[in-house]
Structure 1
Amino acid sequence: MRLWSLHPSLLDRAALIAGWRETLLAQKVLAGGTKGYTNHPQLVRFRAHPEPLAAVGAYLVGLREEATVRGYRFDPTRILEPGDPAAMHDREPIPVTEGQLVYELSHLHRKCEGRSREWLERLPADGDVPPAHPLLHVVPGEVEGWEVR
């Protein structure tokens, strides 16, 4: 499961679609709808939020908005608590470190080298601090402690 901290516009087709599916699974876990993945480290930041389902819903909305721009059809009825990621960011932002964003951008570079080399041209340079998902608030720091490397 990879719940990207990167802005959805940076994700190639495979990462965007996989991110949608995996975040729907994360939403199911947070709603108590499955016994699997309950201790997955990617869920730490959503569990720490005062409204985990609203936070993951806003995250899904951000992915869906990007998918819509690209002409994909992500079903909005699958989002249990949809919300505006920017409004949620203003109300209860989820922090993400610059180091985490740099790490994820490097990870995405490696993925795209193997599956969509043309997408690499769209990405910031490896090592740059890229923009974050609109739900997240960027703070100084190294790679997050929950990241599995």
Structure 2
Amino acid sequence: MRVWDINPGYLNRESLLGEHREVHALFSVIGGGRRGYARHPETLRWSACMGALVLRHDLIVQEMLLRGYRHMSPSPAEETSPWPGAYVDHPHEQFVILKGKYSTKPQGRIPLPGNAQQLWAQHKYSILARDPDLYRHIGSEASGTKTPDHFQELARVLTEALRTPPAQGRLMNALLHMWGYVSSLDPARPRPPGTPAELMGEIRQRAVLYGVRYLMESTALSDLACWARSREGAGQPHTHIGY
């Protein structure tokens, strides 16, 4: 049993769907009182964090929908909760694990990062939507730092920053930046849609349809969709991507 902490865009099809099953298993163990896996490390670290586990589930679902997978198993309704204070494997270790797992297999939507600069590029819009000051700070540091220790710390900072809900204005600002990559791809509809949900949906659709690489390799395509969309729309199928 494993629940990853890094963005699910890094997971290949097998790992993504596998984590979705594991999260639902945890819902049953923690919320339903089932005994199986009751002492498993993942059960122990999520036992007081069901609200956060629901958010992780929603993030997985947005990644599934982005890739064209149907989702028909909703999560339980839970109040807000803290995120786990510990990791089974730290974020930088999770990248190492995936590199080993995928050495002879396809990777996920987002390439596994080889350095801090690539890791930062993949998270830029997710951070911009939450904290512009942190966005500027990390950007200046990532451009000149190449040590393994920096990658480890950056992986942790980015993973934990993405657990914070973005303010509405900052979310819209980040989405408008992303819109700049796709606005000219459909001359009949050059203006951005009005609501965050509509704008995010159009960005995702165009990024997939036209293969906009920078956006397709961004955590924001699934991460920000969790906050831009209502959860009521989480069961609707989206354009298929062959991963």
The normalised TM-score by structure 2 is 0.44
Secondary structure, counterpart of 1:31 in structure 2: helix
Alpha-carbon offset, residue 65 of structure 1: 0.8
Alpha-carbon offset, residue 76 of structure 1: 4.4
Alpha-carbon offset, residue 37 of structure 1: 0.4
Aligned counterpart in structure 2 of residue 113 of structure 1, from 103, 112, 118: 103
Aligned to 1:13: 13
For residues 25 and 11 of structure 1, do their structure 2 counterparts lie closer, same or farther at Cα, with a shift above 3 Å needed?
same
Task: Decide which structure has greater helix share.
Answer: 2
In 2, the alpha carbon distance for the partners of 1:19 and 1:106 equals: 17
Deviations 1:36-67 (Å, cap 9, x if unpaired)?
Answer: 10111012321243xx2x22211111100111
2:56 pairs with 1:59: yes
The normalised TM-score by structure 1 is 0.69
Identity %, equivalent residues: 23
Aligned counterpart in structure 2 of residue 101 of structure 1, from 91, 108, 115: 91
CA RMSD of aligned residues (A): 2.8
Unaligned stretches of 5+ residues in structure 1: 137-149
Q: Is the 8 A contact 1:26 1:43 kept in 2?
A: yes
Q: Is the 8 A contact 2:10 2:110 kept in 1?
A: no
Which structure's CA Rg is the greater one?
2
In 2, the alpha carbon distance for the partners of 1:7 and 1:34 equals: 28
Aligned to 1:31: 31
2:123 pairs with 1:123: no
Aligned counterpart in structure 2 of residue 73 of structure 1, from 65, 70, 74: 70
For residues 58 and 121 of structure 1, do their structure 2 counterparts lie closer, same or farther at Cα, with a shift above 3 Å needed?
closer
In 2, the alpha carbon distance for the partners of 1:121 and 1:24 equals: 24
Task: Decide which structure has greater strand share.
Answer: 1
For residues 13 and 70 of structure 1, do their structure 2 counterparts lie closer, same or farther at Cα, with a shift above 3 Å needed?
same
In 2, the alpha carbon distance for the partners of 1:96 and 1:5 equals: 11
Amino acid at match of 2:104: G
Unaligned stretches of 5+ residues in structure 2: 116-147, 165-243
Deviations 1:102-122 (Å, cap 9, x if unpaired)?
Answer: 111100111111322x55981
